[in-house]
């Protein structure tokens, strides 16, 4: 999972990119990078938070009125410096900078294919494969539209991309619209970003989402749209709504907070618990718990207090320390929990270990009963499209009934939102959501997995180009 | 404002001190330090957050089964490296390490007095004055009890102190008990700390507060208490309950969260507003807003979303950027605010500029009405005892009626909790609270200010010493 | 100018590579990098000195029994992080790591050619072009020999290269042998490096130079040599002997120190000066001055003392400070210089500004006469093959007679070693040296410059492969 | 061992102090600090080299026209951050900043005495004791002269001190003049420093040494001198001449380089060796070897080449690596040594381990014979006055004849300069030198050691004050 942003602004883009990345920081804390263009590329990237990678002096050196930025999630894969985005490629005196959010499922085939053609790769990332396809086709045809069309034909998987070719900014999104990408207007320019909070950070206005299969070219004078591919069914990642996106983002028309609150309301309707209070798992459970409290009448009260200063460098040399670290991160409020029947609300249960620890913590703090309510159905299948879930065997629900899971995590009761209720709360038709992790039915072909084929039509012969007036 | 901690633990204290300081990080982000003792002192301190100052290697070098720690709040004063606590003093082959939370009002007189006596000072801090008095008296009498008694006779102001004399840990609190200090027991030792959350971080049990005027000596075998001075009236800082302490701390018998929630309830009772939602100013307004919602029935809903990654190094080179930084820090959720009448709940109004900016932000996001409810009475006088308030002329309420303030901050209505209701909600008699910033009546003599003399009796002739059995 | 090294050692290569780079640090202080291979590549590189880029923990993570390293000279070009060597390329599940010393003159043509073929480039370096050619051909034929042969046919310029293809180490040198490269044996393995001092650092034995046009494959069992191309005349860079290499290195059979000492002897024979002392410009003039003293009988005495702690970060904010910085770096010993006639010996005169400052400094310190003796003939033409000389117009001797230069640099007399004497002292036939910067005759074709064509014969049909037995 | 400097300059002192410390860096690499005064003190200090501790921004913040600086040698003692000089003490609204080079022998007595008087100490350094005495007396009399006089009466040992009392700069030197201290004039101000190279760094003129027992007050208008104490015999540290000082410094009237060269000449006269070359141990042996070569006619030729980039952080995790590190630091030039009889010249032999390693290295490189010539007599006794020698048992010569030492260090012959010849070469009467490490006769009383009492007369009743006109 990553966050991406592209900005055009006559007043300079390095500070706006910095602020936008700050707003997208929750999408990735491992590394951050900015690439701008002013006659030549200016690049700075490094490990750590946006605040650690950049300072005023560095931002002052990143010249230009167009640029892109990226934050990367800590994944288990190759943590090499050359894998930090944005990437910069040079060919025929042009500079192609590219930042990517998503995950391809046919990377290996594509690499092999291009390697046979003579290409060598500098990184081990999907993103370089995307850049290679685009650069190849630009070289052939000279047209970015053709290049992105070629990419969309070849790439399988999720990809929201921002790129600059010298001083021109482009963005596109896979035909299924798996990962989010939206467009905003600021006082002095335009912005494309993974989430609308990045637009808010610049005090801008959300114009719309980039449409699945669409490519936009953004200049100071406006936005030119080209619809390159269409799918009969989209596959928006449901986990963005449930966990990943910030609650104050609007994704594909839905305010994430409200989706979560509505799910919380449904949780209250679906399973009553005679409880004294409903407490969120901070921070992700808050909107759910507020919804739950509103419908059930159970008082909303914090039972676990989050330490706001936990950093990535928190030291826990021993197992005993790791156990006690839960309490340093989330401190139970004994006075609220003692002798009480508590409804705890969380967004999801993955491995179950965190849930068990939290429930134990709440119970150790004196709770009489602990009922877990979960804002997503049981996760039973891995994600190949960008969410860092573990393998099936590590997913607690992949081969267990809810009763078994309930016992394993030490809950008095356990209730997941049913799939159809979650879908209703999100407000997007189920046919346009990716729910592969909940059903095992994938929207793209993955070897060894079931695929509910979604039909992508390419319309190269009738490319629609229009100027957004908004 | 600062956070202090002292630990005795046969298994080593550097990691427990680190975890405790992590839990106290909200009390000071400017610098952090740890001093331990094992035959000789081991010290490490530096600028920045606990996570930045310490790493595993450093903690590994801080040997010993007794030690103290400190986090310091960014104040406007002399930000010199030698002012970073804990301080270490050496005399007659003894090492005195000391960490202090509070502020003296007779520092200058004491410095002058000791300077005439021959002392020179290495820092510009109050804390060195305290150490000097203690060291002088220990030298004379050889008894820490005598030394602390001498200190309590001479010091005017607030002081919660932890200190080690070689391998012995002591802690004491001024006779008025202005700043908090509490004692806990862990599996393998004891801890004294500014707030009980530090005890929670070690999975320990809060035993009790250090009593005003009390000194405790803590060893692995238990706690020995000496009541050195008594005051007929205490002066616990009300601002700890309203703003400074963590909500999950228990201070002088009161869970801070509940004090805040009860204030919120009183706010709802005191001034009705026909509102669509009640939204907290995150994070400090949360407990207040929950209390408000419970009594008023107005739905609790977040209207401002906090960016969890704001660091001290956030860059805002221009005024325009500083203005927009509010939005990066606190993003208004337009969908929740548009066309709505909003009750915004905050803990206090100091200069009024933040309140105005927040109200403007909420209104710009479409709110029809913005009603501000405040968890403390108007602040009209400066604090000389440790809270970093500005001067009278900068306090918006010091010379203005509430109506005037309401207009200045652009609120549709403004209601402060009345003093007596706040006191009731905190649950400590008004005679035992310091409310100087609200009334201008100070519990200690400050030149040019009114003082409601509180009578401190010293009981040197009948020092009570007893072993806590807990 | 750069330093490169490759090591095979069953006991691990990261520490040996570190020590070798330490010994080559004089060849580049801008950045340093190491790449090793153990099932997968391990890479670490960064800006700064070897000591700054690496620490024990980092070296501990660089696993494997084969690896390469690189130090880069601060050049005026694009100082981008992605340009730091070694480079790593991935294709068909193979990893190609490559480090390069030298400079190509046909980079642009080659890039264009490969770009038309579909390749995109991640850096702006020559080195990536070399890697591309090699990777292309390996892909085609599967043979590294073929690939290096293809590279030698296509590349124009200087290139000493070390590379690993997965766990195999290769090294090759351009057919003219412009940049040095030598092979050594250590107790537990083999090493190829730019200079023999890197072999000394591992307590190894210099076996021989890599021959111009030769490729060696180095494994734990020995060295396999393939002579790919032959030139009738070599073009060893004379500036390595005069300035760049460490005095204790043996390059192409000649101990650099002795070459310099013999030049110094010739300087004494060529131009007598009735001087009181001969003083070197530290440190590069030492060997020359010792030679001069031995033949002339003029006492060798230091007149300028070098500050051993000058770092790259020395601060000189103003012009006045920059002027006085000469004295901080090189302090004149007044007692040695006052009233004396001084022979100052330096390796070369490039722009003349440093010479003028030094002579002024010596004269300000009281010297009666200052005679400059220079270990190389006048530099009149730029270098396109790796030495960072300025343009012709900035070379003080390119359009001036020695008399004019003497006056401009404020010397009482100025004498350069004649070309033939320098060649004699180096001990390599003039036909096998590159003296382009002294004559304007280049050994390779450079647009707009004269070329003394040297004939390179490729012997692909009769590749000689033999096992070195040393 | 440390380096100190004080500067008065109307144009600001932070940059001049930085340059001066750069020139004194050889006197201490562990930490560096600067303290300036402009209404209030400005201080910056930290671990590491001058170049690492300071940058332009930091220097820009150190305001004022008066200030002092310090570099500290890595000693085995307490490496605590609070021990980094300069120290700053505050009393009666005055700031006393102090930097000290030397070592007291009665620290413990003085500390005890002042502690009984009520003083507590913030550091474990001698320097704080000096500051305490001075501050005490200034407080009593208000006169710095009185205070320094009191200090000179009480302090036993070596002390060269620079201090500022608010905006006034003072410097003084112990009555025996053990550690060096000199005064210079620059274009725009005055400087006192441990060595004259610091004056050279500012392009200043050495005026004279601070006289033993003298105190100087330095203002922009000139230097006011007060002779506080006189000793019939001085005790200038001979090791400054032999090893510690930079060769281009002039100390107590003698150019260090020339003292060393003359010693080298005497070494040649004292013991002939039928050698092929004389090679210095770089860098300290250079001047000695030049002198040796001049008298003996044996050719001067470098046999060991020093790596100029060795930093404090060089990594040697294993013993084997530590052994090979000698070669990375000092590389033998085999071609110069093979089959040769070599005279190796070094400044001193302390433990003997380094000498043995060097001789082994030279012999391994093929030398037929290795004759060691040493610029100082055998060191047989520890130093209590500032040189970091080991204990007697670790000094190879303390209980061994030269023959035994020769065998232990694997030399073919070993010859030390005789004491009287060294004294002659230094050019200072033996009665005015401290040669305690060579004779065991100390110039001050040290418990358990012999003392050759030197008579110090105090002249408080007739303080001579005169304005230097230079």
Where in C140-264 does DSSP place strands (E)?
160-165, 168-173, 182-185, 189-193, 205-209, 214-219, 222-227, 229-231, 236-237, 250-251, 254-255
Chain B residues in contact with A13 (beta carbon < 8 A): none
List the single best residue of C34, C119, C128, C131 to mutate versus A (max A Cβ within 10 A): C119
Which residues in chain A touch residue B308, judged by CB atoms under 8 angstroms apart? 25-26, 283, 308
Q: Write down the pLDDT at residue D460.
A: 55
Rounded to an integer, the average pLDDT of D106-132 is 85
- The helix (run of H) or strand (run of E) holding residue B56 is helix B56-61
The enclosing H or E element of D381 equals none
Q: What mean pLDDT do residues B132-137 have? A: 88
Q: What is the pLDDT of residues C396-448, one digit of tens each?
A: 999 999 999 999 999 999 999 999 999 999 999 999 999 999 999 999 999 89
Chains that touch B (3 or more CB pairs under 8 A): A, D
Q: D43 and D141 in one domain?
A: yes
Shared domain for B49 and B187, answered yes or no, is yes
Give the pLDDT mean for B247-256.
94
Q: Would you say D454 and D176 are in contact if contact means Cβ atoms under 8 Å apart?
A: yes
C-alpha A268/C-alpha A265 separation (Å) is 5
Count the Cβ atoms, other than its own, within 10 Å of residue D440: 14
Which residues of chain C have a CB within 8 Å of the CB of A78?
A: 40
ipTM: 0.91
Q: B297 to chain A nearest CA, in Å?
A: 10
Go through chain B and tell me how many residues it has: 470
Neighbouring residues of B436: CB distance < 8 A, sequence distance ≥ 6: B381, B383, B384, B385, B442, B443, B449
Identify which has the larger pLDDT, D301 or C127.
D301
Residue positions of A annotated with a catalytic role: 2
Token digits of residue A109: 């085939």
Q: Answer whether D201 sits within 8 Å of C55, measured CB to CB.
A: no
Q: Are residues D307 and D397 in the same domain?
A: yes
What range defines the domain where residue C380 resides? 255-307+314-427
- The DSSP output letter for A202 is T
Query: Per-residue pLDDT for D110 more than 70?
Result: yes
pLDDT at residue C84, rounded to an integer: 85
Could you give the angle at which helices C319-329 and C353-364 cross, rounded to 10 degrees? 70
> Do D313 and C23 make contact, defined as CB atoms within 8 angstroms?
no
Tell me the CATH number at C337: 3.40.50.2020
**Chain C residues near residue A31 by CB distance under 8 angstroms:** none
Q: Is residue D141 part of a domain?
A: yes
Whether residue A320 is found in the same domain as residue A193 = no
Do C68 and C169 touch, CB atoms closer than 8 A?
A: yes
Q: Is the Cβ pair D331, C201 closer than 8 Å?
A: yes
Domain assignment of residue A246, yes or no: no
The answer to whether the CB atoms of D82 and B43 lie below 8 A apart is: yes
Best A36, A120, A121 residue to mutate vs chain C (most C CBs within 10 Å): A120
DSSP state of C462: G
pLDDT of residue C324 exceeding 70: no
- State how far the Cα of C183 lies from the Cα of C5, in Å rounded to an integer: 10
Q: Does the beta-carbon distance from D88 to B82 stay under 8 Å?
A: yes
What would the pLDDT profile of D223-271 be if each residue is shown by its tens digit? 999 999 989 899 999 999 999 999 999 998 899 999 999 999 999 999 9
End-to-end CA distance of chain A: 31
Per residue in C35-85, pLDDT tens?
Answer: 999 998 898 988 889 998 999 889 999 999 999 999 998 654 455 667 789
> Given pLDDT bands bounded at 50, 70 and 90, which one contains residue D452?
confident
Cα–Cα distance measured from residue A63 to residue A36, given in angstroms and rounded to the nearest whole number: 6
* Residue B455 marked ligand-binding: no
- Residue D93 to residue D101: CA distance in whole angstroms: 26
Given a cut of 80, whether residue C127 has pLDDT beyond it is yes
Cα–Cα distances (Å) from B239 to B70, B235, B246, B259, in that order, read 20, 11, 12, 11
Structural contact between residues B176 and B158, judged by C-beta atoms closer than 8 angstroms: yes
Let me know how long chain C is: 470
Q: Is residue D442 part of a domain?
A: no
- Is D327 within 8 Å of C287 when comparing Cβ atoms? no
State pLDDT tens for residues D57-70: 889 999 999 999 99
Contact across the interface for B333 and A26, Cβ inside 8 Å? no
CA distance B275 to B344: 10
Q: In degrees rounded to 5, what are phi and psi of residue C87?
A: -95, 150
Interface test with B, best of D42, D120, D130 (most B CBs within 10 A): D120
Q: pLDDT digit string (tens) for C134-150?
A: 988 888 788 898 999 99
Higher pLDDT, D143 or C347: C347
Q: Between chains, do B118 and D117 touch, taking CB under 8 Å as contact? A: yes
Q: At what angle do helices D14-23 and C319-329 cross, to 10 degrees?
A: 20
B280 lies in the same domain as B362: yes
Both tokens of C412, joined, read 């009482």
Q: Is the dihedral of CA D323, D325, D330, D336 positive or negative?
A: positive
D139 contacts B81? CB cut-off 8 A: no
Rounded to the nearest angstrom, the minimum Cα separation between A85 and chain B is: 20
Residues in D touching C50 (Cβ below 8 Å): 309
For residue C222, CA distances in Å to A290, C181, C466, D40 come to 72, 17, 10, 69
Query: Which chain C residue has its CA at the smallest distance from D198's CA?
Result: C328
> In this model, does residue D130 exceed pLDDT 50?
yes
- Band (pLDDT 50/70/90 cuts) for residue D315 is confident
Q: How many helices (H) and strands (E) does chain B have?
A: 16, 28
Q: What are phi and psi of C316, to 5 degrees?
A: -140, 80
Shortest Cα distance, chain A CAs vs residue B309, angstroms: 7
- Please say if the pLDDT value at position B81 is more than 50: yes
- Give the span between the Cα atoms of B64 and C159, in whole angstroms: 58
Asked whether the beta carbons of residue C139 and residue A112 sit closer than 8 angstroms, the reply is: no
Residues D157 and D268 in one domain: no
Look up residue A210 and give its DSSP letter. P
What are the Cα distances from residue A324, in Å, to A321, A364, A411, B184, C402?
A: 5, 13, 20, 16, 78
Mean pLDDT for the stretch of residues D105-132: 85
How many Å apart are CA A420 and CA D237, to the nearest integer? 90
Domain shared by A408 and A462, yes or no: no
On whether residue A304 sits in a domain, the answer given is: yes
Specify the 3-state DSSP secondary structure of B225: strand
Residues B419-453: tens digit of each pLDDT: 999 999 999 999 999 999 999 999 999 989 998 87
Which position has the higher pLDDT, B220 or B264? B264
What are the chain B neighbours of D121 within 8 Å (beta carbons)?
89-91
CA angle B196, B202, B205 (to 5 degrees): 55
Same-domain pairing of B162 and B273 = no
Q: What is the distance between the alpha carbons of residues D324 and C188, in angstroms, rounded to a whole number? A: 14
Q: Which member of A286, A307, A335 has the closest CB to residue B255? A: A335
Q: How far is CA C281 from the centre of its chain?
A: 20
Residue C86 lies in a domain: yes
Q: pLDDT (tens digit, 9 = 90+) per residue, D27-56? A: 998 899 999 999 988 989 888 899 989 998
Tokens representing residue A269 in the block: 């309707």
Question: The sheet that has C168-173: what strands, in order across it?
Answer: C87-91, C94-101, C160-165, C168-173, C214-219, C222-227, C465-467
Q: Which of A203, A247, A332 sits opposite B327 (nearest CB)?
A: A203
Closest alpha carbon to C257 in C282, C287, C228? C287
Nearest-CA distance from D289 to chain C in Å? 11
The verdict on a CB contact (< 8 Å) between A287 and B302 is yes
Catalytic-residue membership of D113: no
Residue D284 marked ligand-binding:
yes
Please state, in angstroms and rounded to a whole number, the distance separating the CA atoms of residues D364 and D362: 5
The whole-number pLDDT of residue C312 equals 62
If asked whether residues A271 and A407 sit together in one domain, one would say yes
pLDDT average, residue stretch C86-104: 88
In this complex, the residue of C19, C29, C52 whose CB is nearest that of residue D328 is: C19
Residue where the block lists tokens 């956070």: B3
Please check the confidence at residue B323 and state whether its pLDDT lies above 90.
no
Distance from CA of C44 to the nearest CA of D (A): 16
Residue C241 within a domain: no
Instruction: State pLDDT tens for residues C110-120.
Output: 988 888 777 78
DSSP state of D79: -
The residues with which C89 forms a beta bridge, in sequence order, are C96
CATH of the domain at B189: 3.60.20.10
Q: Region C329-358: what's the mean pLDDT? A: 95
Q: Which of C2, C113, C122, C451 is catalytic?
A: C2
Predicted pLDDT of residue A469:
40
Nearest to C90 among A92, A117, A121 (CB): A121
How far apart are alpha carbons B99 and D42 in whole angstroms? 24
Closest residue in C to D295 (Cα) is C299
> What are the residues whose beta carbons fall under 8 Å from the beta carbon of A25, sequence distance 6 or more?
A3, A49, A50, A71, B307, B308, B309
- Which residues of B are less than 8 Å from D123 in CB distance? 90, 122
Q: How many CB pairs under 8 A join B and D?
A: 82
**What pTM does this model have?**
0.85
What is the spatial distance between Cα D17 and Cα D10, in angstroms, rounded to a whole number? Answer: 13
Q: Is residue D150 part of a domain?
A: yes
Separation between Cα atoms, residue C470 and residue C221, nearest integer Å: 12
Residue entry with tokens 């596109």? A172
pLDDT in tens, chain A (470 residues): 799 999 999 999 999 999 999 999 999 988 999 999 999 889 898 888 999 899 988 999 999 999 999 999 865 445 566 778 999 888 777 889 999 999 999 988 998 888 877 777 888 788 889 998 998 888 878 889 899 999 999 999 999 999 999 999 999 999 999 999 999 999 989 999 999 999 999 999 999 999 999 999 999 888 999 999 989 899 999 999 999 999 999 998 899 999 999 999 999 999 988 899 999 999 889 999 999 999 999 999 999 999 988 766 667 667 666 666 777 889 999 999 999 999 999 999 999 999 999 999 999 999 999 999 999 999 999 999 989 888 999 999 999 999 999 999 999 999 999 999 999 999 999 999 999 999 999 999 998 999 887 888 886 544 444 444 44
Contacts of A54 in chain B (CB under 8 A): 315
Q: Higher confidence at residue C29 or residue B276?
A: B276
Q: For residue B200, give the nearest of A26, A50, A331 by CB distance.
A: A331
Q: Is B55 part of any known ligand binding site?
A: no
Residues C388 and C420 in one domain: yes
Mean pLDDT over the full length of chain D: 90
Q: Please state, in angstroms and as integers, the Cα–Cα distance from residue A360 to each residue in A9, D218, D365, following that order.
A: 51, 71, 70
Contacts of A150 in chain C (CB under 8 A): none
Res A84: pLDDT: 85
Residue B422 has φ and ψ, to the nearest 5°, of: -60, -45
> What distances in angstroms separate CA A200 from CA A194, A256, B329, one per listed residue?
12, 15, 11
Residue A46 C-alpha, separation from nearest chain C C-alpha, in angstroms: 10
**D205-209/D182-185 β-pairing:** antiparallel
Same domain, D79 and D204: yes
The closest alpha carbon to D371, from D395, D337, D400, belongs to D337
Considering only the beta carbons, identify the residue of D15, D197, D305 that sits closest to C331: D197
Query: Which pLDDT tens digit goes with each residue over C291-322?
Result: 999 999 999 999 999 998 876 666 766 766 66
- Domain membership of residue C322 (yes or no) is yes
Distinct helix (H) and strand (E) counts, chain D: 16, 28
D5-15 pLDDT, tens digit per residue, is 999 999 999 99
What is the pLDDT at residue B76? 43
Whether B2 and B27 have beta carbons less than 8 Å apart is answered as yes
DSSP string, A296-344: H-PPB---EEE-TT--TT----SHHHHHHHHHHHEEE-HHHHTT-EEEE
Residue B318 pLDDT > 90: no
Q: Are residues C323 and C205 in the same domain?
A: no
pLDDT, position B77:
46
Averaged pLDDT, D400-428: 97
Q: Do B43 and D92 touch (CB under 8 A)?
A: no
Quote the percentage of chain D above a pLDDT of 90. 70
Quote the number of domains for chain A: 2
* A335: nearest CB among B25, B258, B286: B258
């Amino acid at each position: 999972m990553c966050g991406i942003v592209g900005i055009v602004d006559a007043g300079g883009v390095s500070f706006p990119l910095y602020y936008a990345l700050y707003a997208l920081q929750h999408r990735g804390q491992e590394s951050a990078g900015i690439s701008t263009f002013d006659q030549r590329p200016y690049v700075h990237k490094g490990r750590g938070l946006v605040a650690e990678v950049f300072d005023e002096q560095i931002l002052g050196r990143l010249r230009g009125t167009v640029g892109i930025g990226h934050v990367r999630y800590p994944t288990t894969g190759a943590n090499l410096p050359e894998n930090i985005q944005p990437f910069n490629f040079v060919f025929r005196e042009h500079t192609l900078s590219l930042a990517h959010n998503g995950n391809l499922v046919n990377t290996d085939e594509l690499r092999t294919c291009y390697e046979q053609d003579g290409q060598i790769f500098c990184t081990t990332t999907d993103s370089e494969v995307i850049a290679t396809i685009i650069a190849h086709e630009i070289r052939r045809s000279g047209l970015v539209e053709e290049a992105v069309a070629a990419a969309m034909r070849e790439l399988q998987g999720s990809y929201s991309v921002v790129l600059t070719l010298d001083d021109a900014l482009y963005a596109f999104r896979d035909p299924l619209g798996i990962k989010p990408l939206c467009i905003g207007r600021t006082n002095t320019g335009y912005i494309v970003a993974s989430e609308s909070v990045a637009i808010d950070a610049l005090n801008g206005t959300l114009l719309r989402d980039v449409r699945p299969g669409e490519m936009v070219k953004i200049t100071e004078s406006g936005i030119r749209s080209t619809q390159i591919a269409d799918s009969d069914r989209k596959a928006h990642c449901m986990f963005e709504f449930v966990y990943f996106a910030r609650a104050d983002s609007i994704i594909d028309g839905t305010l994430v907070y409200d989706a979560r609150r509505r799910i919380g309301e449904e949780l209250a309707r679906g399973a009553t618990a005679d409880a004294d209070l409903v407490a969120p798992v901070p921070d992700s459970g808050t909107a759910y718990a507020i919804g739950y409290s509103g419908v059930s009448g159970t008082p909303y009260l914090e039972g676990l207090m989050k330490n706001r200063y936990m950093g990535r460098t928190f030291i826990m040399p021993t197992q005993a320390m790791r156990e006690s670290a839960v309490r340093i991160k989330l401190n139970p409020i004994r006075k609220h929990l003692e002798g009480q029947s508590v409804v705890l609300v969380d967004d999801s249960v993955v491995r179950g270990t965190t849930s068990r620890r939290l429930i134990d913590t709440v119970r150790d703090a004196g709770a009489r009963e602990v009922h877990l309510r979960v804002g997503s159905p049981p996760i039973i299948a891995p994600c190949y499209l960008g969410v860092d879930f573990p393998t099936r065997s590590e997913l607690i629900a992949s081969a267990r009934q809810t009763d078994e899971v309930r016992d394993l995590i030490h809950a008095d009761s356990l209730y997941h939102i049913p799939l159809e209720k979650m879908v209703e709360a999100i407000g997007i038709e189920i046919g346009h959501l990716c729910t592969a992790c909940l059903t095992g039915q994938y929207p793209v072909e993955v070897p060894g997995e079931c695929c509910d084929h979604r039909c992508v039509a390419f319309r190269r012969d009738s490319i629609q180009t229009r100027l957004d007036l908004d």
